Amino acid sequence: TEGASGILHISMSTVSPETSRRMAQIHSGRGDRFVSAPVFGRPEAAAARKLWICQSGEADAKAQVRPVLEAMGQGIFDFGEDPGAANVVKLAGNFLIASAIEAMAEAFTLGEKNGVERGRMAEMFARTLFACPIYLNYGRLIAEQGYDKVGFSLPLGLKDMQLLQATAVTSKVPMPFAGVVRDRLVAAMAKGREGLDWTGFALGVSEDAGLG
Amino acid sequence: TEGASGILHISMSTVSPETSRRMAQIHSGRGDRFVSAPVFGRPEAAAARKLWICQSGEADAKAQVRPVLEAMGQGIFDFGEDPGAANVVKLAGNFLIASAIEAMAEAFTLGEKNGVERGRMAEMFARTLFACPIYLNYGRLIAEQGYDKVGFSLPLGLKDMQLLQATAVTSKVPMPFAGVVRDRLVAAMAKGREGLDWTGFALGVSEDAGLG
């Protein structure tokens, strides 16, 4: 096509589905292509080819980027042609993580006020009903309350929950848990905690119960 | 002791910590003993010796009931001498499950309204970040919305969330997620859904988003 630059843009950031849809349209208008491929995993996971990658977009473009994604991921999940779909899944995943953080913080705080050690409760659930990475790793963090070792920063967590809520409004889905978590993050910012890991919003759960 | 009947009472029901503490006191006053040992797992799990058992109470009494619990469980977790402690952990566990149900229902509904198949999202998370029994089994249920196959009834779920909230008030712990989940269960009862599995409160999440 006239003006086509042959660009294939792979967007791996956590952006809104709306942004991906607009980017895809702009690229398409120029004869270029766009694949949305947001990831779960930290830089170490990328280095170890252990990322979980969501993707969506035009089939041909996805086929072409496949080797690139395979070099970084241990699993690639396809969500169809809508370039925004992969971003919906990524935001939903961060929301599930944030909800697990809040739920564990509430549960552990209830335990603590009843003389049950936080770490003991975390350990039990991470070995039984919730024997999976998120509950194991975040559960230990929330039990130990060592929020100053930053894996994913608190302001980035807030950014993602804001993108999630904007998407929830656009697509008309009330999400009460998202509101609770978003307000926890806002309160943490108000208390000057932007330098903490995003799990640091769990401090507010303890404080509301008169602890810490 | 005068009037001692030598009774050793093992309470495996999901009751409030306060009930266990009172029961222990009553038994103790008679020279009898009381062990709190609530379980995670359905009847099939008990038959297969696959229950997860929490226990708390007097050390001697716990040592004596150990063989009985071992005949039913694949793991026994001790939470000390306070007879109410095991019940706090059991209620906290059901709360973590209920919170995971609500979070998944919100996430899957957001997906559905953006053209992402519920089952596809459930499958991805159950194979990656949340590869554990609760997200795998309940995730599939919530994706398929087959709430009429009752594993744990909706009114029992409400009972447990009420016990949890009463404990949260007694021990002064605000738990916003518990409030959301309790109201979902109350709404489900109001809509005549007492015959459904307790995951059936997820229907309310879809309905709030204008679906089904």
Q: pLDDT digit string (tens) for A52-88?
A: 999 999 999 999 999 999 999 999 999 999 999 999 9
Instruction: Name chain A contacts of B85, Cβ cutoff 8 Å.
Output: 114-116
Q: What pLDDT shows up at residue A112?
A: 98
Last residue of a domain, one of B81, B107, B135: B81
CATH of residue B165: 1.10.1040.10
CA distance A117 to A135: 16
> Across the interface, which of A77, A82, A125 has its CB nearest the CB of B96?
A125
Residue A3 lies in a domain: no
Q: What is the distance between the alpha carbons of residues A110 and A116, in angstroms, rounded to a whole number?
A: 8
Considering the domain boundaries, does residue B3 fall inside one?
no
Total count of domains within chain A: 2
Query: Quick one: pLDDT band at residue B1, thresholds 50, 70, 90?
Result: very low
Contact B92 A82 (CB under 8 A): no
Query: Does a structural domain hold residue B111?
Result: yes
Residue B125 sits in the same domain as residue B196: yes
pLDDT in tens, A94-121: 999 999 999 999 999 999 999 999 999 9
Rounded CA gap, A206 and A212, in Å?
Answer: 7
Q: Å from A163 to nearest chain B CA?
A: 13
Tell me: pLDDT of B2 over 80. no
Question: What are the C-alpha distances in Å from B22 to residues A11, A111, B18, B38, B82?
Answer: 59, 19, 6, 16, 11
The residue among B81, B96, B116 that closes a domain is: B81
Q: Which amino acid is at B180?
A: V
- What one-letter code names the amino acid at B37? A
Same domain for A61 and A131? no
Could you tell me the two tokens for A21? 């849809």
pLDDT digits (tens, 9 = 90+) for A155-190: 999 999 999 999 999 999 999 999 999 999 999 999
Instruction: Tell me the shortest Cα–Cα distance from A168 to chain B, in angstroms.
Output: 7
Residues A105 and A142 in one domain: yes
User: Any idea what the CATH number is for the domain that residue B61 is in?
Assistant: 3.40.50.720
Interface touch B99/A103, C-beta < 8 Å: yes
- The verdict on a CB contact (< 8 Å) between B209 and A172 is yes
Of B84, B96, B164, the CB nearest to A130: B96
In a domain, A56, yes or no: yes
| Rounded CA separation B78/B62 (Å) | 9
Mean pLDDT of the region B74-84:
97
Per-residue confidence band for B4, with pLDDT thresholds at 50, 70 and 90: low
Mean pLDDT score, A4-30: 93
* Domain region containing A61: 8-83
User: Would residue B90 show up in a list of annotated catalytic residues for this protein?
Assistant: yes
| Cβ-Cβ contacts under 8 Å for A90 (sequence gap 6 or more) | A14, A38, A39, A40, A54
B94 plus B196 within the same structural domain: yes
Question: Does residue A148 belong to any structural domain of this protein?
Answer: yes
pLDDT at A6: 83
Residue at A2 is within a domain: no
Q: In whole numbers, what is the pLDDT of chain B averaged over residues?
A: 95
Q: Using one digit for the tens of pLDDT, what is the confidence trace for B127-181? A: 999 999 999 999 999 999 989 999 999 999 999 999 999 999 999 999 999 999 9
- Which among B108, B115, B175 has CB closest to A110? B175
In this structure, the answer to whether residues A98 and A75 fall within a common structural domain is no
* Claim to verify: residue A74 and residue A27 sit in the same structural domain: yes
Contact call for A88 and B116, based on CB within 8 A: yes
Give the one of B80, B91, B177 whose C-beta lies nearest to A102's C-beta: B177
Q: Which of A139, A168, A105 is nearest to B107 (CA)?
A: A168
Helices (H) and strands (E) in chain B, counts: 9, 5
A117 Rama sector, left if φ>0, alpha if ψ -120 to 50, beta otherwise: beta
Distance between CA atoms of residues B202 and B49, nearest Å:
30
Both A74 and A161 in a single domain? Answer: no
Q: Are A142 and A200 in contact (CB under 8 A)?
A: no
The answer to whether position B126 is within a domain reads: yes
In this prediction, residue A1 has a pLDDT band, given cuts at 50, 70 and 90, of: very low
* A55 CA: distance to closest CA in chain B (Å): 12
Tell me: do B107 and B200 sit in the same domain: yes
User: Is the residue at A180 inside a domain?
Assistant: yes
Same domain, A91 and A73: no
pLDDT at A44: 85
- Percent of chain A at pLDDT > 70 equals 98
Closest-CA residue of A relative to B173 is: A209
Instruction: State the CB neighbour count (10 A cutoff) for residue B144.
Output: 12
Q: Is the pLDDT of residue B102 over 90?
A: yes
So what's the ipTM on this one?
Answer: 0.96
Q: Is residue A3 predicted with pLDDT exceeding 60?
A: no
Q: Which residues contact B27 (CB under 8 A, 6 or more apart)?
A: B7, B9, B33, B34
Per-state percent for chain B, helix, strand, coil, to nearest 5? 60, 10, 30
Chain A residues with beta carbon closer than 8 angstroms to that of B107: 92-93, 95-96
> Smallest CA–CA separation between B42 and chain A, in Å?
13
Q: Are residues A203 and A98 in the same domain?
A: yes
In this predicted structure, what is the pLDDT of residue A4? 56
- CB-defined contacts A:B, below 8 A: 189
A175 and A128 together in one domain? yes
Where a domain ends, among B58, B81, B104? Answer: B81
Q: Please tell me whether residues A152 and A74 are part of one structural domain.
A: no
